[in-house]
């Protein structure tokens, strides 16, 4: 099932479910966080709406709505650095012995087709295609064997980075948390529709050219291991996002380096999860 946050005619955003070529609203929820917090009951409602979509009284052609970030205001965005072997090697750093986590601020959230605005003071904007995990229920100190049961679903994410700030600061929060620097979407694909999150092709295209091409099977620390590691210290809540890391091929480590410029179009495509498209401004 594909869940969205969408807007029509400038009205208040709504939670919806994609049924074929239409979006059908799921009434009664202020946002995706409240939908996910309702647990199995809200999912059952959405599943029924999807099944009976042909008879829905209110539905919108997907081409006529504005899709927003599926989770418009996550409580936390926890990202993972150097979590693909080829990316660790291109940075000339050792393979991590444990997950390297850092934060992106929720104010960096952006949606599909939203403009990614590069800061004037850092001309070294860069792309990072990533698999995002959205938490579905309160999670604390969960065992790895049970961790995937706490996942609501998955979506593409672009961990846009201001490299000069990132490396100059010696920590990554400012360079990773600029406004618009966390595009997600186009929808949240529920856990039941993704049998194995460790078997998904992932790629990044810039202006139609493939610059990253890998598979989530190449993650050093898989989704379940990350949830167990993070939740040992930090309580995860419905709507929280884990960005699982990017494969090799980012711009800063190319020879010569290639940075984003105004007008560039970035596309993150993950097998079965859709294409996240954003233009640079």
Share of the chain above pLDDT 90, in %: 94
- The predicted-structure confidence for 156-175, as pLDDT tens digits, reads as follows 999 999 999 999 998 899 99
What spatial distance separates the first Cα and last Cα of the chain, rounded to whole Å?
Answer: 32
258 neighbors 163 (Cβ within 8 angstroms): no
- Residue 137's pLDDT is what? 97
List C-alpha distances in Å: 198 to 115, 210, 236, 276. 30, 21, 21, 19
- Residue 11's pLDDT is what? 83
Cα–Cα dist 47/18, whole Å:
10
The CA-based diameter of the chain, rounded to the nearest angstrom, is: 57
Q: How confident is the model at residue 248 (pLDDT cuts 50, 70, 90)?
A: very high
Residue 131 has pLDDT above 80, yes or no: yes
Ranges of each domain in the chain: 2-68, 77-279
Residue 16 forms beta bridges with which residues?
Answer: 4, 25
CATH class held by domain 77-279 = alpha beta
- The predicted-structure confidence for 263-279, as pLDDT tens digits, reads as follows 999 999 999 999 999 99
- The predicted-structure confidence for 23-44, as pLDDT tens digits, reads as follows 999 999 999 999 999 999 999 9
Q: How far is CA 176 from the centre of its chain?
A: 14
Mean pLDDT of 70-97: 94
The half-sphere exposure of 138 on its side-chain side, counting CA atoms within 13 A, is 3
Cα–Cα dist 14/173, whole Å:
30
pTM of the model: 0.97
């Amino acid at each position: 099932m594909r869940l969205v946050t969408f807007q029509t005619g400038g009205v208040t955003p709504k939670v919806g479910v994609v049924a074929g070529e239409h979006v059908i609203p799921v009434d009664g929820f202020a946002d995706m966080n409240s939908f996910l917090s309702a647990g199995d009951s809200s999912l059952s409602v959405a599943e029924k709406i999807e099944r009976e979509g042909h008879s829905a009284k209110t539905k919108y052609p997907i081409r006529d709505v504005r899709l927003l970030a599926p989770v418009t205001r996550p409580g936390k965005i926890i990202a993972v650095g150097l979590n693909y072997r080829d990316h660790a090697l291109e940075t000339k750093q050792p393979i991590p012995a444990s997950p390297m986590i850092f934060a992106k601020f929720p104010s960096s959230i952006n949606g599909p087709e939203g403009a990614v605005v590069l800061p004037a003071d850092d001309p070294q904007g860069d792309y990072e295609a990533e698999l995002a995990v959205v938490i579905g229920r309160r999670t604390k100190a969960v065992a790895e064997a049970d961790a995937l049961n706490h996942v609501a679903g998955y979506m593409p994410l672009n961990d846009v980075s201001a490299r000069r700030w990132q490396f100059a600061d010696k920590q990554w929060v400012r360079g990773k948390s600029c406004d618009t620097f966390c595009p997600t979407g186009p929808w949240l694909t529920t856990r039941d529709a993704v049998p194995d999150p460790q078997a998904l092709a992932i790629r990044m295209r810039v202006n139609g050219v493939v610059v990253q091409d890998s598979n989530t099977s190449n993650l050093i620390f898989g989704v379940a291991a990350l949830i167990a590691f993070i939740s040992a210290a930090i309580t995860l809540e419905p709507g929280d996002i884990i960005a699982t890391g990017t494969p090799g091929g980012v711009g800063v480590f190319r020879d010569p380096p290639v940075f984003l410029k105004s007008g560039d179009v970035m596309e993150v495509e993950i097998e079965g999860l859709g294409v996240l498209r954003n233009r640079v401004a």
